[in-house]
Structure 1
């Protein structure tokens, strides 16, 4: 759990507490399993609970209080904002936690791979589908597709019921591949203007 600026999509630049759940249904998070995972390009460490601000909480109220304590901003003008991410947050996010966090005055966002339904009560739903998995959550506020993914059909995804449609270049440790992926994302937006470019600005400015 950490306080930062949202780096991606329609909410980019917004102060937020990120609550990252351990565990995912598309990859174990361990490098030895990456080659056989459904999602092979994940750039996030979601294994374990011993990271900065990490831990286990006895109940929803305890986690909601920890989230409230992690928010460092002045909430006079806007509701404080929390992003549940992972891993895959729908494996753990439930009604009790949503209600407890709302009771702390927070607006709740989720970043999900869309393979499980998002519980009722979440204020902002961002779905990032992974090719090779079944997309169950087909409505929301923001659809964010990492490109390139072999076999993805942006025309079909563009028919889903979302308010915002983003493509984001797949990150890569190899600069040439990273640049090529960015060009794929840019050309996608130029040729399919329904889609807008999402840039991982938190990596550009050096924030978590």
Structure 2
């Protein structure tokens, strides 16, 4: 029987993209196919600007789950049981599609969750995902070229917005890169969207508000 590993599971508000501000349970899967998560490997990684700890299973709510049913039960435990709102789980990472599969999707749907996924697009998404967000990383092969939302960290020298205009997404977002040049990146993103209004601005509101 397949097991699942999560770095952390917690209840918060979605901070980015089209679902920003919506209450959600975040399930951060352990592991990624573009970086080991270890600082000693960052310089040689395909994705070098990740700001997320996805190594191990020692975060809040993290652990190894022996079945899809067990993981769905754990995720459901973080949703307020008195709430009448539509349940939302955001499957992220690392790279969630290394682990998220048909069985877990079915178990989460049985618990009443809408399933949102944030992926780097290098793995074909299984059927049944309710909201698919692809965030391409430079120097990686994108095989998932359709979905609900494409969210591109900007700027990336090797990845320009023009590279993705033929992809089939409902929404196209640019998200300023969070590094030492963040103020410059925000202004550059705004300037680019002014010139190319098919794109929308995505800010990391969870960092602005100080929530997880």
Is this a same-fold pair by TM over 0.5? Answer: yes
Distance 1:150 1:188 in 2: 14
Distance 1:10 1:73 in 2: 25
The structure 1 residue matched to 2:77, chosen from 69, 75, 84, is 69
What is the deviation of 1:74?
4.7
Distance 2:106 2:59 in 1: 25
Unaligned ranges ≥5, structure 2: 1-8
Q: Deviations over 1:31-68 (max 9, x none)?
A: 11111111000010000001011111110000001111
Q: What secondary structure is seen at the aligned counterpart in 2 of 1:115?
A: coil
What is the deviation of 1:130?
0.4
Q: Which residue of 2 aligns with 1:93?
A: 100
For 1:9-20, list aligned pairs within 5 A.
9-20=17-28
What is the deviation of 1:4?
0.2
What is the deviation of 1:153?
3.0
Determine if the alignment matches structure 1 residue 203 to structure 2 residue 207: yes
Determine if the alignment matches structure 1 residue 114 to structure 2 residue 121: yes
User: TM-score w.r.t. structure 2 length?
Assistant: 0.94
Distance 1:80 1:151 in 2: 37
Q: Report how many aligned residue pairs link the two structures.
A: 204
User: TM-score w.r.t. structure 1 length?
Assistant: 0.96
Unaligned ranges ≥5, structure 1: none
Q: What secondary structure is seen at the aligned counterpart in 2 of 1:145?
A: strand
Determine if the alignment matches structure 1 residue 179 to structure 2 residue 187: no
Q: Which structure has greater strand proportion?
A: 2
Distance 1:96 1:17 in 2: 19
Q: What secondary structure is seen at the aligned counterpart in 1 of 2:169?
A: coil
Distance 2:97 2:54 in 1: 14
The structure 1 residue matched to 2:43, chosen from 20, 35, 41, is 35
Change over 3 Å in CA distance of 1:194–1:99 after alignment to 2: same
Distance 1:161 1:118 in 2: 14
CA RMSD of aligned residues (A): 1.0
What is the deviation of 1:12?
0.1
- Following TM superposition, the consecutive aligned residue runs of length 4 or more in structure 1 with deviations greater than 4 angstroms are none
Q: Which residue of 2 aligns with 1:123?
A: 130
Determine if the alignment matches structure 1 residue 149 to structure 2 residue 178: no
Determine if the alignment matches structure 1 residue 168 to structure 2 residue 168: no
Q: What secondary structure is seen at the aligned counterpart in 1 of 2:189?
A: helix
Distance 1:57 1:191 in 2: 47
Please say which of residues 64-73 and 91-100 is displaced more in the overlay. Answer: 64-73
What is the deviation of 1:18?
0.3
Distance 1:8 1:73 in 2: 25
Q: Deviations over 1:100-129 (max 9, x none)?
A: 000001000000000001110000000000
